[in-house]
Amino acid sequence: MAVGVFDSGLGGLTVLDALHRRLPDVPFVYYGDNANTPYGTRAADDIFNLTCAGVERLWEEGCDLVILACNTASAAALRRIQETWVPEGKRVLGVFVPLIEALTERQWGDNSPPREVAVKHVALFATPATVQSRAFQRELAFRAIGVDVEAQPCGGLVDAIEQGDMILAEALVHSHVEALHRRMPRPQAAVLGCTHYPLMEDVFRAALGPDVAVYSQPELVAASLEDYLARHPELIGPGTEPGYLTTGDPVAVGQKATLFLRRKLPFRAA
């Protein structure tokens, strides 16, 4: 009954942590492509190939359903994966849709035409690859009209977080928020479009101010997956054991993961 969680680095651990809390009886197998992180500056074909390799490894672990807990992979590769690559009986889902459903106040599976929503001005903070893909705007357009999205590529932020340099990460957040404000002085909502960014959520909130609603992914994704599994129990795979896989050095990755989650995770080589 295992479910796979794919990430390009360590940011997906924020989603995994929320999944564990929401679905404690589901064994999750986590795959971090730490040898190739970050994905945010890679070409789309490169992201697609790396993501497919990780998803296939999770299938080998008995995970028929895989969550891409990486916004860059979700933005640059998910649609192509779903349309051209996933075999029958398998599913690969991303992390954008639960976020957009919350932003637009639409329920999962609501396929009615796009309509006007309360939020008109949205700031998107994401990696350069996610911004370039315009996947967020595309998915939003399926559900809402009249929403102005200003996207801010947050170069360097993932690297700083992965390296544990939170002083640099905080400075980068302020710099990126200032750059966004020059183009959109008064956003109503801000989307943290990278699974690393919840670790800096308090800094984003402080820089944006109390009048901006901040949307972060971990809890939203966990609630959405709980609903999805209730409706599609057949997609819970045959795997029974949780696990933590990495393409990097398991010891080094495990040490970094401990800083993220404040508990030890037994990583093994993918």
Q: Which of 52, 63, 154, 194 is catalytic?
A: 194
Query: Pick the catalytic residue: 52, 63, 70, 154?
Result: 70
* Rounded CA separation 239/6 (Å): 16
The Cα 208–Cα 185 span in angstroms is: 10
For the chain, helix, strand, coil in percent to 5 are: 45, 15, 35
154 is catalytic: no
Is residue 63 flagged as an active site residue? no
Burial class (CB in 10 A: 0-12, 13-18, 19+), 232: exposed
Omega before 38 cis (within 30°)?
A: yes
DSSP lists the bridge partners of residue 61 as none
Sign of the torsion formed by the C-alpha atoms of 63, 69, 70 and 73: positive
Q: Alpha carbon 64 to chain centroid distance?
A: 19
* Token output for 212: 């901006």
Which residues lie closer than 8 Å to 229 by C-beta, 6 or more apart? 3, 23, 26, 65, 235, 236
Q: Which active-site residues does the annotation give?
A: 70, 194
